[in-house]
Amino acid sequence: MKKLLILTMAAVMALAVAGVVFAAPPDFQLTNVGSEGPVTYSHSFHLKQKVDGKQVTCKNCHMKLFHMKKGADKITMSDIKAGKFCGACHNGKIAFGVSAKTCNKCHKK
């Protein structure tokens, strides 16, 4: 009986840990931006978007575009313009692209 209780508690705790791992983190800033303003990246905003008519999920970005660790990827504008990282969507088709008019949509002073 006591063993069953311990097993049940272990299962509940494992689920709680999984819940923490799979919850999207709050907005954060990416600051490797040279003299531009920092980029605020919002998980909650992006998870409300649709790509090709389908609701965005973690899999749209993790792990194929980004590691699950802030600052882990070395993101450059040339990579973004080449369709990597944010540029997989921010290409002017799925979402606004990179141009002189859009720098400050991502980089806020």
Q: What is the 3-state secondary structure (H, E, C) of the chain?
A: CHHHHHHHHHHHHHHHHHHHHHCCCCCEEECCCCCCCCEEECHHHHHCCEECCEECCHHHCCCCCCCCCCCCCCCCHHHHHCCCHHHHCCCCCCCCCCCCCCHHHHECC
Considering only 2-10, 11-19, 25-33, which stretch makes contact with ligand HEC by CB under 6 A? 25-33
**45 in contact with ligand HEC (CB under 6 A):** yes
Q: Select 7 or 90, whichever has its Cβ closest to ligand HEC.
A: 90
Q: Is 15 an interacting residue with respect to ligand HEC (CB under 6 A)?
A: no
Query: How far apart, in whole angstroms, are the C-alpha atoms of residue 8 and residue 53?
Result: 40
55 binds ligand HEC, rule: CB under 6 A: no
84 lies in the binding site for ligand HEC (CB under 6 A) = no
Q: What residues form DSSP beta bridges with 29?
A: 40
Position 108 contacts ligand HEC (CB under 6 A) = no
Binding residues vs ligand HEC (CB under 6 A): 22, 24-25, 28, 30-34, 36, 39, 41, 43, 45-47, 49, 51, 56, 58, 60-62, 65-73, 75-77, 80, 85-86, 88-90, 94-96, 98, 100, 102-103, 105-107
